[in-house]
Amino acid sequence: MVEKKIEIKGVNPAEFFGINNVKFNHIKSFFPQLKISSRGNVVNYSGDIAQLGIFEDKVKLIIQYLKKFNSMTENNIDNLMDKEGKSILEEKDGDDVIVHGNSGIKVRARTLNQKKLVKAVYKNDMVFAVGPAGTGKTYTAVALAVRALKEKEVKRIILTRPAVEAGENLGFLPGDMKEKLDPYMMPLYDALRDMIPPEKLKDMIEFGVIEIAPLAFMRGRTLDKAFVILDEAQNATKMQMKMFLTRMGMSAKFIVTGDMSQVDLPRHQQSGLSYVIDLLKDTDGLEIIRLNQMDVIRHPLVKRIIDAFEKADDKDKAAKQNEKKDNK
C-alpha cells in the first residue's frame, strides 16, 4: 500500500477543514477506498496508487479554489469533485454573473449544471431545466429573464405556473382571482424581488412589462418578443404542455422548469413534462438540462433529504418489480 502526504498551505486551513472537520470529512467521502487522515495542516493518505493521484489532484484543485475565492462550501466541494470541476477555475471573475440585483447582489450561476443552463439559454430559444428542489432552476431562469429585459433583448417577461398544488383547490382560498393565485406564484415573486427594486417591480407588473399568470391564461395567445418561463411544469398535462409550447412567437425565449419527483396530478394522469421531454429529446433548436443533488444550494440537509427520498423510491420500485415477477 502506497502512503503519501500533502501540506495545506497558502490558504486558510479553517476553510479547507471546516468546523469540526466537516469539510474535510466531506472531501473524504468521495474517496471511500482510501485511508485519509490529518495532523495539523498535513493530510496523510494511502491506498490504491491510481486513487491517490486523483485525490491529490482534487486537493490541489481545492487549494487553487480557496486561493482565488477565499471561502468554500460543501456545494463548492461537490462541484470541484465533478469531472468538469477544473472548469470553475478557468472562468474569469464575473463570467458567471447573470444580473446585478438589489443592494449590489450578484446573481450568478453557482454550480456546473446551472452554468450549463445559462449557456443553453444563450444558445437556444427553448430550454428545459429538470431537477429536484433547491437546484436553482426557477431562480436562474428568472435571473436570465431579468437580464434579457435589462439588455432590451425582449420587451416583457411572462412567468406562468399550472395552478395545481398538493391537496389544494383555488376555490377554497379567500379573495378575488389575483388573491387566490398569488400564493401559487410566490416563488416567482420572491426571485423577482431579489433582482428588481420594489417600486420598479410594482410598476412593471402594473403596466404588463412583467406578467405573472396561471398556465390556463396562456391559451389562444402568441407570446412574442418575450422571455417566457413555465415553472413547476411537472404539474402540466400533456395537452397543457402542447398548448404552451405552441404559443411561442418568432422572437421569444422559453424556459420550462420542473421536478419529476413532485408531481401533484391525479395518479391516472401522466405528467406533460415527462411526456414532452421524451418526445422532443432529439429535436434541433432546444436543449434539456438535468440538474441533480450536486446543484442543491439550500441547507446541506436538503441534499440528504432528497437522497433519502430517492433511495426510498428506488426501493419501492424494486419491491413492485419483484412483486410482479412473483405474480407471474
Give the pTM: 0.68
**Other CB atoms within 10 Å distance of the CB of residue 310:** 14
Asked if 211 and 156 touch (Cβ cutoff 8 Å), the reply is yes
The residues near 66 (Cβ < 8 Å, ≥ 6 apart) are 11, 12, 15, 16, 72
Q: What is the pLDDT of residue 90?
A: 62
Asked if 248 and 223 touch (Cβ cutoff 8 Å), the reply is yes
pLDDT class of 173 with cuts at 50, 70, 90: low
Cell of 99: 444580473
Averaged over 106-114, what is the pLDDT?
A: 85
Count CA atoms closer than 13 A to 94's CA, side-chain side: 1
pLDDT class of 305 with cuts at 50, 70, 90: confident
What is the rounded CA–CA span in Å between residue 93 and residue 87?
13
Q: What is the pLDDT of residue 23?
A: 92
Q: How distant, in Å, are the alpha carbons of 229, 231, 263, 298, 317 from that of 164?
A: 16, 12, 9, 24, 26
The residues near 146 (Cβ < 8 Å, ≥ 6 apart) are 99, 157, 192, 195, 196
Q: What is the pLDDT of residue 109?
A: 86
Mean pLDDT, all residues of the chain = 85
pLDDT class of 119 with cuts at 50, 70, 90: very high
pLDDT class of 319 with cuts at 50, 70, 90: confident
Asked if 124 and 287 touch (Cβ cutoff 8 Å), the reply is yes
pLDDT class of 262 with cuts at 50, 70, 90: confident
Q: What is the pLDDT of residues 45-95, one digit of tens each?
A: 999 888 899 999 999 999 988 887 777 888 788 878 886 777 666 655 445
What is the rounded CA–CA span in Å between residue 23 and residue 28?
9
